[in-house]
Amino acid sequence: MALSLTNTLTQKKELFKPLGDTVKIYICGMTVQGPPHFGHMRAYITSDILIRYLEFLGYKLKVIQNFTDIDDKVIEKSLEEKIDYRVIAEKHIQEYYEVADKMNIRRADIYPKATQHIQEIIELIQKLIDKGYAYEAGGDIYFAVDKFSDYGKLSKKKLDDLIAGARVEVRTQKKNPADFALWKASKPNEPYWESPWGQGRPGWAIECSAMSMHYLGETIDLHLGGEDLIFPHHENEIAQSEAATGKPFVRYWIHNSMLNLTGEKMSKSTRHFITAKELLDKYAPNVLRLYFLKSHYRSPQEFDFGILDSNKESWARIEDFLYSAEEAGIDENSKPQVPSSKFMEAMDDDLNTPKVMALIFDAVKEGFSAIQNKNTNELNKRYSEVMFYLRALGFNTDLQNRTNKRILISTGTQVSAKLEFRDITTLMKALELAKSLGYNIIANLIERGNDINDMNLLAIARDLAREKKSYEISDLLRKGLEEMGYSLEDTDKGTRIKRKS
């Protein structure tokens, strides 16, 4: 068994063998003229999954993911909003980090920005001019596609068709309509850098070539991105880089399929998208990750709130199992063997995450039976199995990050109470306090809505706290209940709660 990946260049599943000791990976990052949308997240979850799996296999990695902080779209936005392009870029870079961190997407080693690499870009362009692959026309520099005989090898496009189909641009002085810009002379009011060809700025694709070669060398192992980047962006990256060095630029091109919204690809430039942030307000990061991983990265996905809602239920079932198992008593020290061979079999096959998801749900089912049959060994095994798969796929299984909060408070030998909190901050405060006062607390989370019975248990816990004269805790519990929409009444039988109308 070994990892096979579909290489867009050969259109085949190929055995992955890195060139050296360290796997060199370049991920095409966002053009930062707007916030990350949910379609972007599909690309970065895909790269996250591949990176996690390569690490699982024991490879050392070097990962570069750029930010395109200068290009036509960024300038357009800057002129439209009358804000410095750097301010716009920085804002959206921060938004990217915020969303990616929430989604538990591993950080790359370096996030270079195009504007930090103008010197390398100019040098690369000069090299292409010197070698006869590029020419100047009115302050612009173009790459002459007919000089590079392999042009079209990634996208499988034919140069003649490209020439016939090329749009005639107004200001262009290209020799061939299919030639593309490496450098663009700046127009008045546009940001610019000095160059041997006058004031201007780089074209889009040359930025990625220069940054990839600067950090990773002339030939890299993996270049990742959405399939919408295959042409012209990646085709142009190949032409520029290979024309300059005479060496293969990338050994494996990995592209994820698109996320469609009502049948059309989600795209910033057409304003046809849902932002990642909007969805993170409605759904837990684990639910969104599950949504992506239930499809293979090379299958197109249709965005649908109905599917997301059913994924939410699927995730709740997984958490329900984790908490039920923890409540039933998991032996943390038993360390049963994890089924890594089943996992690897699925992942080796071009990152077959839907298959791993199916393994998770099978293990959850078996685990529930084990709880019912009070089969501790089997339960330990299933619990470890589920945890192993979840962690390997980048789900966040920490207690604080679980979607559905439910806690079990047991106060010594007396009573245990299952609680559910909407407001995790209050809950955590109460727990910390309770712990510092010597309460025995087991956190246990299960999704079951804001159930009045659970709330009654919370009220019991409040009475217990008062009995023990732990007024801070009882106050916090009262506040928590009130915040969740309940009113409290003290009776001789203890606290009685009612949902406020």
Tell me how far CA of residue 261 lies from CA of 27, 66, 269, 281, 448, in angstroms: 24, 26, 14, 19, 31
Whether the CA torsion 137, 139, 141, 142 is positive or negative: it is: negative
Long-range contacts of 135-140, Cβ-Cβ distance < 8 Å, separation of 24 or more: 135/175, 136/197, 137/172, 137/173, 137/174, 137/175, 138/173, 138/185, 139/185, 139/197, 139/198, 139/200, 140/172, 140/173, 140/181, 140/183, 140/184, 140/185, 140/197, 140/200
Burial of 342 (0-12, 13-18, 19+ CB in 10 A): middle
Q: Binding pattern to Zn ion, positions 12-51, x when CB under 5 A?
A: ----------------x-----------------------
Interface of this chain with Zn ion, residues 154 to 213, rule: CB under 5 A: 208
Nearer to Zn ion, 37 or 462 (CB): 37
Nearer to Zn ion, 265 or 277 (CB): 265
Question: Minimal distance in Å, beta carbon 497 to Zn ion?
Answer: 57
Between 229 and 261, name the residue whose CB sits nearer to Zn ion: 229
CB of 208 to Zn ion, least distance (A): 3
Pairing of strands 264-265, 259-261: antiparallel
The token pair that represents 223 in the structure block: 């270049």
Of the candidates 282, 283, 260, 289, the one whose C-alpha atom is nearest the C-alpha of residue 272 is 260
Q: Which is nearer to Zn ion, 230 or 407 (CB)?
A: 230
Output the smallest distance, CB 194 to Zn ion, in A.
24
Site for Zn ion in 202-221 (CB under 5 A): 208
CB of 28 to Zn ion, least distance (A): 3
Distance between CA 423 and CA 421 in Å, rounded? 5
Handedness of CA 112, 115, 121, 122 (dihedral sign): negative
Preceding peptide of 285 cis, ω within 30°: no
d(CA 462, CA 495) in angstroms, rounded, equals 8
Residues 6+ apart with CB under 8 A from 82: none
**Which residue lies nearer to Zn ion by CB, 212 or 470?**
212
Nearest CB to Zn ion, comparing residues 206 and 364: 206
Handedness of CA 162, 168, 169, 175 (dihedral sign): positive
**Contact between residue 14 and residue 4 where contact means Cβ atoms under 8 Å apart:** yes
Nearer to Zn ion, 208 or 346 (CB): 208
By rule CB under 5 A, what count of residues binds Zn ion?
A: 2
Nearer residue to Zn ion within complex by CB, 209 or 444: 209
- To the nearest whole angstrom, how small is the minimum distance from the Cβ of residue 282 to Zn ion? 30
Residue type, 437: L
Least separation in angstroms between CB 249 and Zn ion? 12
Query: Closest approach of Cβ 32 to Zn ion, in Å?
Result: 13
Indicate the residue among 202 and 367 with the shorter CB distance to Zn ion: 202
At its nearest, how many Å lie between Zn ion and the CB of residue 202?
A: 12
* Residue (of 66, 43, 23, 68) closest to 212 by Cα position: 66
The smaller minimum CB distance to Zn ion, of residues 28 and 346, is found at: 28
Here the tokens at position 317 are 């079932």
Minimum separation from the CB atom of position 151 to Zn ion (A): 17
CB of 26 to Zn ion, least distance (A): 8
Tokens for 235, please give them.
């085709």
Please identify, using beta-carbon distances, which residue of 28 and 359 lies nearer to Zn ion: 28
Nearest approach, Cβ of 56 to Zn ion (angstroms)? 26
Would you list the DSSP string of 53-85?
Answer: HHHHTT-EEEEEE-BB-SSHHHHHHHHHHTS-H
Q: State the residues that interact with Zn ion by CB under 5 A.
A: 28, 208
